Amino acid sequence: MNKQNTLTLVETLLIDYANGTLPLALEVLVETHISMNPVSARSIRMLLQLGGALLENSEPISLSEGSFEKLMAEIDSGFDKDREINNNVSNDNKLLPLPLRNYAQDIDSPKSWKRIGIGLSEQAINFGDDFGSTKLYKISPGCSVPSHSHDGNEVTLVLSGGFTDEYGTYGPGDISIQETGAVHKPVADEDGECIVLAVNEGPIVLTGPVGRLLNMLIK
């Protein structure tokens, strides 16, 4: 997809992030992206401030009778269920941006990766819901992902290194969006390994001759 359309879709992603309607996989992708991209970080900041201003400007509507007292009673009872959620950040994955660290398995351990081609490995990430599929891909320098199309939109974020496909060149923090049916063949830059996070709404369909064989194997 060309750069202008991609930019448009990224803007829509950022708005959906701010209003909280993204599935968790995309929410984490956007958080990772804004931790790497100051322009998008400023957009999110503006959108949250705008939300704050709209909240401040809202005409007050009373809550039901005794709401404040009920709230204080709950506070005084001292039970804080949110404290029980484990919010420690993993010590593994120091090389990954913070927002992604707890979700991925240790990227330094070979055991976390499954080899799926020459110079190409993947790691599935489970977000505990039934939304599409999310994977990390590791592509060796100069190697490529076999030409494939997408059954469902795919959003890819470069975490390290870079790749080039039919539509452009992408570096750390860049997002590439493939719409349903789009075909592309990403090739990792020669100067280093490339790791990307890919969130797919539907299964990937491999289109090259080798790919078609792989499709049969994957099934």
Partner 1 sequence: MNFRVVEELISSLDMSMGSGFSNDNQNNLSEWDSCLLKIGKYRDKSAFKSLYEHFAPRLKSFLLRIGSDESAAEEICQETMIMVWRRAETYNPESAGASTWIFTIARNKRIDKLRKDSRPLPNFNDPLFYQKPIDKSDDILQRTEEEKKIKNVLKNLPPEQAKLILSAYYDDKSHRKIAEETNLPLGTVKSRIRLAINRLRTQLEDFEG
Among 93, 99, 146, 176, binds partner 1 (CB under 8 A): 99
With respect to partner 1, which residue has the nearer C-beta, 74 or 191?
A: 74
Say whether residue 124 binds partner 1 (CB under 8 A).
Answer: no
Compute the half-sphere exposure of residue 192: CA atoms within 13 Å on the CB side of its CA. 10
Say whether residue 146 binds partner 1 (CB under 8 A).
Answer: no
Among 130, 190, 216, 219, binds partner 1 (CB under 8 A): 130
Say whether residue 45 binds partner 1 (CB under 8 A).
Answer: yes
With respect to partner 1, which residue has the nearer C-beta, 59 or 190?
A: 59
- Give φ, ψ of 51 to 5 degrees: -60, -45
Say whether residue 213 binds partner 1 (CB under 8 A).
Answer: no
- CB of 149: closest distance to partner 1 in angstroms? 20
148: nearest Cα among 219, 196, 204, 218:
204
Interatomic CA distance for residues 53 and 47, integer angstroms: 10
Say whether residue 71 binds partner 1 (CB under 8 A).
Answer: yes
Interatomic CA distance for residues 171 and 163, integer angstroms: 7
With respect to partner 1, which residue has the nearer C-beta, 93 or 144?
A: 93
Please count the residues of this chain forming the interface with partner 1, following the rule CB under 8 A: 61
With respect to partner 1, which residue has the nearer C-beta, 148 or 150?
A: 150
Say whether residue 95 binds partner 1 (CB under 8 A).
Answer: no
Q: Which two tokens stand for residue 73?
A: 């009673």
Say whether residue 51 binds partner 1 (CB under 8 A).
Answer: yes
- Residue 144 DSSP label: B
Interatomic CA distance for residues 108 and 51, integer angstroms: 40
162: nearest Cα among 136, 134, 133, 193:
193
Say whether residue 180 binds partner 1 (CB under 8 A).
Answer: no
Interatomic CA distance for residues 61 and 188, integer angstroms: 55
> Contact, 192 vs 141, CB < 8 A?
yes
Footprint on this chain of partner 1 (rule: CB under 8 A): 8, 11-12, 15, 18-21, 24, 27-28, 31, 34-35, 38, 41-64, 67-68, 70-72, 74-75, 80, 82, 85-87, 89, 98-99, 101-103, 127-130
